[in-house]
Amino acid sequence: MPLKNEILNRWLGREAPAEHEPKKQPEPAVVEPASVIADWHMQLDEEGRVTGISKPLRNALGLAAVVTPAQRLMGYLMPGSALVVEGAPEEWHGHMLDLDFRRPNGQVLHTRGWVQAQGEKWLLQLLDIGDLMEEANVAQSRQQCLRLAGQLAEKVRGCHVDRLQAVTAEQLEELAQSYRVPCLALALAEPGGAGWRIYAQFNAQTAPQLWQDGQRLGTDLDALVSTQTHQIDFGEPTQLVHLQSAFGNADGFLLPHHKEGSVKAWLLFGFYNAARQAPELGEREWMNLCSALAGPILYRHADQAHRHQLERLAVLQDLLGTGWWEFLPDSDEVQLAPQLARTLGLPGSSDVLPLTQWLQLIHPADRHELESRLGLLRDRGTPMLSCVRLQQEDPAQPPVWLRIQGQVLVSGQARRVLGFMLDVSDIKNQEIQAAAAHARLDNLIASSPAVIYVLGYDRGSLEPTFFSASLTPLLGWTQAECAEGLLTQYVHPDDRDIWFQRTRQLLREGVVSCRYRLRDKKGEYHWLLDEARLLRDDLGMPVEAVGLWLDVTEATQATERVRESEERYRILVEDSPAMICRYTPDLILNFGNRPLADYLECTPQQLPGVNLGNWFSAEQKEAFLRRIDELTPEAPMSTAEICLELPGREHAWWVWADRGVFDDSGKLVEIQAVGRDNTEIRRTRMQLNQSAKMATLGEMATGLAHEINQPLNVMRMAVVNVLKRLSNGDTDVEYLTDKLNRIDTQVQRAARVVNHMRVFGRRSEIEQQLFDPIDAVDGTLNMLTEGMKGKGVELRVGEPGPRVQVRGHVDQLEQVLINLMVNARDALLSKKEKTPELEPWIALHVEQDDQTLWLIVEDNGGGIDPRLLERIFEPFFTTKPVGVGTGLGLSVSYGIVEQMGGRLSVSNASEGACFRIALPIARD
Ligand code: ADP
């Protein structure tokens, strides 16, 4: 090629023509004779008509051997270059002519030539400049390609990362339009190297869509050679058959982009044949374009991934209060991640600090260990892992634990010492707590009367694999002594059935609870409560059993003792001579023993359900219920003498002791009672009372005689006087009436005394009655006043208070008062014998408050020898001579007052004895 240019230039006498130079030039300086240098030439006449064509040119133009004469040169040329040869050859002389000839196949033959005169004719010599032209075209399009590549790269590199994909699609469009590619796509490797995926694509409207964004291409592309372009030609056999599906069975063209030795991206051209459609671009240009596009995208992706990585790391470090550290050996300093520096409470900007200062942050107890490990890491590369506490100002705070890890990183010549610090306080503190709890639990189990065991399951048999440490303290056996069937030997022979049954039940039902006796090493048996549970795997197959032995020897023995004791009590109750029963507050019997059943003339079995109230009179029942109602959890006991109307008997008197049973809320739920038949005793006592009463009457006889005698005397005097008057014939009616009235009064008086004596002498009523105690006082005074007067004893009777009622028998209270006054009289009379100047008196007065009424009998008889005070209520105790005193008066009186719910007491007052009868006032 340089040769051609040289020829041309030499001929034209100038340097190679510039493109923009005008076509017509001044005359050449040297005009050589018409010598033929070029193979291609034509002969022209002076008007420019072709008269001859050299054979090579004819061949090149594909013309026949015989030239049709008289055709102008213009007729052979492409329209574009025909302009150059307007006019006659003479005008062209001295100019360089670029002539493009038309070839019959439509191709163009590029030539450059000049004309030379040849006599009258002209010789047009031509050189083939097709290759020169082509070279220039190629250079141009390569330049364009380079420019395009630059633009693509710039766009992709400069856009915002969020728009990267969109911009890539735009650049694909740009590229497609530049080279008229119907379908164009960029495929990137999938993360993890599992095939390829379309990242962005462009599709011309006229072409079918081959690819879509995000489409997976599989791994077919992996087989391609990474360093060259690949053309798939569907029309011809191709080795890349496997790719045809990815290209819709159309022609295709692939460009790899590789980095660090492997392909990272493919640029795919669909319906495109590069060699045919862009012949001017070589492999290098294509690769260049691909790299211009894919390179920046991959870089930006890597950059973004890196940034994300950093952000994740920062977040992680922030969240965990942790971070990396690096030891800088040159300065003996430690550099910390900013988050870590913050966690450690270092001031704002100081994330590089001297090693010593770093160590100062650590608790002294852990500091030396850390320092030593760090030394090993630095000097010998021993990887480091240690848990240390931070130095803390407030020792009350829970410690902050850090896990420090370090290793040496060698890359090339560089050797770095770096690691991580992680706050593990939560875990560490939990670990410490768990360890403490575990130790406590171990301790507890070891010191408790419980053994935890594990039984391993092996084809239907269960053998111990573990016992808690409490085994030996409890039973004396070691774990080994309980293994492999040995345990069975220790089970009490009587309990072996339970033992075998337990294993079977555990396997069958998965859970068991039983008791049996197990021998300890000393040969003593322990009652064990055994509770076990079978654990199964996911498939329901037994894996092992976990169980617990609880030593219940004491409890079992205690239960046994209770049972025995209950049995004893049952016998005691059933065989007791006393009546024992339980009944509800509405008097329905729950239980009664044989003695009670005998009294009620039935069997013990018939007793439950019977109402006790059936045997009471209405009054007794009311009194009984009132008494039960007064029971409280604080005072649950009550005793009374109750009266029943039993079948076949008139009245039965029972001494009856009740004990209330209360529920948690203090409500009475049941009463337990013990009773004793007191009828005989009571009858005897009544007889005694009666005898005592009679004795009292006897003692009163003198007084009573006086009492009767007095009215008799008055009457006798009246009768004598009346008779005397009548014998004198005096019949003064007024006088006689007066005397008769006096006699009547005295008769009434005597009748009253006699009447009262009759009443008093009667036996007492069975049931107690309500009465006014003052009635008893009046009755007593009626009988005694005259007698006392006769003996010179003054009666001092006090004013009674408001009227009240007491419960009992009025005659019995009278009996008590008579006893006391007669005793006082006797004491006074015996004292008067020794001291005649004594003026004897007996005082009887009444005192009362809301609940109690007192009848007080006091005298001035000198009182009772203090040594005898305690004994005077004893039956048959008397200081009176034999035949005079019975010693029953006070004893009977005491009993009567007690029967009335009251109390009789004595004391020595200033001048004599003072007896006080205290009686509960009855209220409705
Ligand atoms: P008796 O009157 O038959 O002796 P009591 O039981 O009535 O039997 O009395 C017992 C004793 O108590 C009397 O013997 C007497 O010594 C003593 N006694 C009773 N009352 C008085 C009194 N008012 N002053 C002194 N002694 C008394």
More confident residue, 505 or 468: 505
Centroid of ligand 1 to alpha carbon of 872 (angstroms): 7
Phi/psi for 737 (5° steps) reads: -60, -45
Higher local confidence (pLDDT), 477 or 688 = 477
Ligand 1 binding pocket (C-beta < 6 A) is 819, 823-824, 827, 859, 861, 864, 872, 877-880, 885-891, 913
As a whole number of angstroms, the distance between CA 799 and CA 90 comes to: 189
Is the pLDDT at 3 greater than 60? The verdict is no
Q: What is the mean pLDDT of the chain?
A: 85
In the reported structure, the alpha carbon of residue 806 is separated from the centroid of ligand 1 by a whole-number distance in angstroms of 26
Whose alpha carbon is nearest atom 18 of ligand 1? 823
Q: Whole-angstrom distance between the N-terminal and C-terminal Cα of the chain? A: 154
Closest atom of ligand 1 relative to the 887 alpha carbon: 8
Q: Which residue has the higher pLDDT, 650 or 499?
A: 499
Write down the pLDDT at residue 619: 84
Task: Categorize the per-residue pLDDT at 505 as very low, low, confident or very high, splitting at 50, 70 and 90.
Answer: very high
- In this structure, which residue's CA is closest to atom 13 in ligand 1? 878
One-character DSSP codes across 420-435: EEEE-HHHHHHHHHHH
Using the structure block, give the residue that is written with the tokens 């009755």.
779
Query: Given ligand 1 and candidates 691, 694, 823, 894, which is best to mutate, with the most ligand atoms within 8 Å of its CB?
Result: 823
Residue 712 above 90 pLDDT?
no
Distance 284 CA to ligand 1 centre (A): 154
From ligand 1's centre to the CA of 347, what distance in Å?
A: 109
Residues 702-725, mean pLDDT to the nearest whole number: 80
Q: How confident is the model at residue 4 (pLDDT cuts 50, 70, 90)?
A: low
**Best mutation site among 872, 893, 910 for ligand 1 pocket (most ligand atoms within 8 Å of CB):** 872
- List the residue whose alpha carbon is closest to atom 3 of ligand 1: 885
User: So what's the pLDDT on residue 14?
Assistant: 45
pLDDT band at residue 28, thresholds of 50, 70 and 90? very low
Q: Tell which one of 869, 870, 878, 893 to mutate to probe ligand 1, the residue whose CB is within 8 A of the most ligand atoms.
A: 878
Lowest-confidence pick of 35-39, 54-58, 619-623: 35-39
User: What value does the mean pLDDT take over residues 896-918?
Assistant: 94
Q: Hey, whose CA ends up nearest to atom 23 of ligand 1?
A: 824
* pLDDT at 924 (0 to 100): 63
Q: What is the atom index within ligand 1 of the atom nearest the CA of 820?
A: 20
Percent of the chain with pLDDT strictly greater than 70: 92
463 phi/psi in degrees, rounded to 5:
-125, 140
User: Which pLDDT value is given to residue 608?
Assistant: 93
Q: Which atom of ligand 1 is nearest to the CA of 890?
A: 6
DSSP codes joined into one string, 194-245: --EEEEEEEE-TTSPP---TT-EEETGGGGS-TTS-EEE-TTS--TTGGGTT
Atom of ligand 1 at shortest range from CA of 886: 3
Atom from ligand 1 closest to the CA of residue 912: 24
Q: Could you give the CA distance from residue 817 to residue 693 in angstroms, rounded to a whole number? A: 12
Q: Atom 7 of ligand 1 has which residue's CA nearest to it?
A: 889
- 82 Cα to the center of ligand 1, angstroms: 184
Query: Ligand 1 atom 11: the closest Cα is on which residue?
Result: 878
Taking only the tens place, the pLDDT of each residue in 490-500 is 999 999 999 99
Q: Rounded to the nearest whole angstrom, what is the distance from the C-alpha of residue 681 to the centroid of ligand 1?
A: 25
Give the model confidence (pLDDT) of 732-775 as tens digits.
Answer: 888 888 888 888 888 887 887 777 777 777 777 777 889 999 99
838 CA distance to ligand 1 centroid (A)?
19
Taking the CA of residue 857 as reference, the ligand 1 atom at the shortest distance is 23
Are the C-beta atoms of residues 851 and 805 closer than 8 Å to each other? Answer: no
Tell the residue nearest (CA) to atom 10 of ligand 1. 878
The pLDDT value given to residue 703: 64
Cβ(476)–Cβ(522) below 8 Å: yes
What is residue 154's predicted lDDT score, i.e. its pLDDT? Answer: 92
Given this model, what pLDDT does residue 17 score? 43
Confidence of residue 26 (pLDDT cuts 50, 70, 90): very low
Q: pLDDT confidence of 29, banded at 50, 70, 90?
A: very low
In this predicted model, what pLDDT tens digit does every residue of 407-443 receive, in sequence order?
Answer: 998 888 888 999 988 888 888 888 888 998 888 887 8
Alpha carbon nearest to ligand 1 atom 14, residue: 878
**Higher-scoring residue by pLDDT: 623, 67:** 623
Per-residue pLDDT for 916 more than 90? yes
The most confident of 161-175, 254-268, 712-726, by mean pLDDT: 161-175
Ligand 1 center–CA 773 separation, angstroms: 23
What band does 853 get if pLDDT is binned at 50, 70 and 90?
very high
| pLDDT tens for each residue of 373-405 | 999 998 898 999 988 988 888 878 888 888 999
Whether pLDDT at 215 is above 70 = yes
3-state helix, strand, coil in the chain (%, to 5): 45, 25, 30
Q: Give 887 Cα–ligand 1 centroid separation in angstroms.
A: 7
> What sign has the CA pseudo-torsion 145, 149, 152, 158?
negative
pLDDT digits (tens, 9 = 90+) for 545-602: 999 998 888 888 888 898 998 888 888 888 888 899 999 999 999 999 999 998 888 8
What are the tokens at 722? 């009346």
- Which residue has a Cα nearest atom 26 of ligand 1? 864
Nearest ligand 1 atom, CA 879: 14
CA of 512 to the centre of ligand 1 (A): 80
Residue closest via CA to ligand 1's atom 2 equals 885
pLDDT tens track for 93-116: 888 888 888 887 778 888 888 888
pLDDT category, 1, cuts 50, 70, 90?
A: very low
pLDDT > 80? residue 27: no
Taking Cα atoms as reference points, which of 718, 644, 701, 714 lies closest to residue 675? Answer: 644
Ligand 1, atom 22, lies closest to the CA of 824
- Going from the Cα of 878 to the center of ligand 1, the distance in angstroms, rounded, reads 6
Best residue among 696, 856, 858, 890 to mutate for probing ligand 1's pocket (most ligand atoms within 8 Å of CB) is 890
- Per-residue model confidence (pLDDT) at position 858: 96
Band (pLDDT 50/70/90 cuts) for residue 461 is confident
Q: For ligand 1, atom 8, which residue shows the shortest CA distance?
A: 887
Q: Among 335-339, 356-360, 668-672, 690-694, name the most confident range.
A: 668-672
Q: What integer is the mean pLDDT of 51-74?
A: 77
